[in-house]
Amino acid sequence: MASNEMEVDDENETKPKYFHELELDDRILKAISKLGWVEPTLIQEKAIPLMMEGKDILIRARTGSGKTAAFTIPLIQKILLNKRMQKKQEIKGLIVAPSKELCKQIHDVIICLTVKCSREVKAIDVSPQLDLSAQKPLLAEKPDIVVGTPSRLLQHLKANNMKLKQSLETLIIDEADLVFSFGYEDEIKSLLNYLPIVYQAALASATLSEDVVTLKKLVLRSPAVLKLEEPPLAPLSQLSHYSLAAEENDKAAILYALLKLHLVRGKTIIFVNTVDRCYKLKLFLEQFGIPTCVLNSELPAVSRCRAVTQFNSGTYDIIIASDEKSLEEPHIIKVKRGRRKKDKESGVARGIDFQFVSNVINFDFPQDVNSYIHRAGRTARGKNQGTALSFVSIRERPLLEQVESELKHCYNRDTLFKTYQFKLEEVEGFRYRAKDAWKAVTRIAVREARLKEIKQEVLNCQKLKSYFEDNPKDLQSLRQDKALHTVKLQSHLKDVPDYIVPPTLKRLVGTNRKRKFNREAAASKPTATQLKYQARASNPLVSLQIKNMK
């Protein structure tokens, strides 16, 4: 098979500039126009024609480059063309993804792309953890496209709820590099036994790991390999990488100062390595009146998807995500005893399309290069600007050096990370407050917070599901950033007294306060001095001092 592979580079004299040049159905073009997509991305202009020609393809492109549309658009086009020749309703496309969140995201994209042909092209997502019998009637209608995780799809196939041997034409596996790492190797091999001998296949991935090579041999036949010559992340002109030296005892104080002094602006994802750290950080920030929500594998799938949706819609600005897939947690052993249950079909750092994220903060540094790529890839998506700021302790420095060594060659640069020098002595007042607040978040408080959140979310999912389907606006009442209150709150900590604010930032912080209480003053024409500080404040990460960043 390797000898028949066709590698496609990114040079093409006749590359399409607009979607209509791809000879797509008018209904798809109208949906694309409604979405506001002006022109295809590089991976879309390469992959769509090849899939429409019926070729097997392996798509490797950086996160946020438009891979989902690259394989869903030609799939929908192919189904619409076949509808003209045959009227029999059958399952034609199967899309496999490693997590429930990603399945929902893919399904949402399909719904948007078929808004003008929803009667002709029907799609369902079977990943939600409902009884198989609840989804059986939906599959009995033989939707054109079925989306699901490997284990969920296999359950339905074994239950004879859907048959693919005679009808399936296209198999797509998204985030292929994660499928085996999520423990789906056996499920994928079993699933392939239920497919026809001949079908078109596509694999999409941000990286080309050994697992992807293994999967390619199982699924693809003489594929076209789309390995575009571009860095795995957005260019440095679009995505800035910063490292901040911070020992474990100082990380919380630094984060508190960055947020309260408005040095971090815009929608922000804070990554930690364990679920416990996720809740500890939420409870810590809660004491200072900083609203956040959590996203981890212990929450029900509906709650995780709702958290992502509300974050994307702007309901809240800070989300704390535990990327525990990259680290073996000590308490995972307790799962066997029934004390804590994780959802292996949960994916936080990878694949999820968090929208308009200004900053990614690695409170805990990721455990490997791929994890860093997928975390940093949550920002600077499309043509948006973004910043990735990593807190790095002495113990984590080898991980930083490994990431820099791997990625600096991709950018042809000697260094990747700029140094964000944070002088903690300038915010000693913040450090003093943070030390007490961090100590207040005990292991018992974290455990109670985890149990309280899970119980509340399960209750919401079970009792209110049908209600919210009829009343979607009332979802606002279930905001994910509600305080957990397992730590005693002191109201005075919400305010930042002037005496602990560094002199270099007093005017900036003062301006923010005036905006809060004096709208008329904020609406007036700014002075030259105000313009100077507004220019500094417009950056996602503002320097604590002059020449702070190197």
- The encoded tokens of residue 533 equal 């500080």
pLDDT digits (tens, 9 = 90+) for 389-427: 999 999 999 999 999 998 988 888 889 999 998 888 888
pLDDT digits (tens, 9 = 90+) for 103-153: 999 999 999 999 999 999 999 999 998 899 999 999 999 999 999 999 999
**Does position 195 have pLDDT exceeding 60, yes or no?**
yes
- From CA 69, how far away is CA 102, in angstroms rounded? 13
- Using the 8-state DSSP alphabet, how is residue 323 labeled? -
Question: 418 - beta bridge partners?
Answer: 242
- From CA 404, how far away is CA 414, in angstroms rounded? 9
Four-residue CA torsion sign, 31, 267, 448, 338: positive
pLDDT digits (tens, 9 = 90+) for 343-355: 555 555 455 778 8
Residues in CB range of 251: below 8 A, 6 or more apart: 363, 391, 393
CB atoms within 10 A of CB 497: 8
Q: Which of 30-34, 64-68, 262-266, 497-501 has the highest mean pLDDT?
A: 30-34
Point out the least confidently predicted range of 282-286, 483-487, 516-520.
516-520
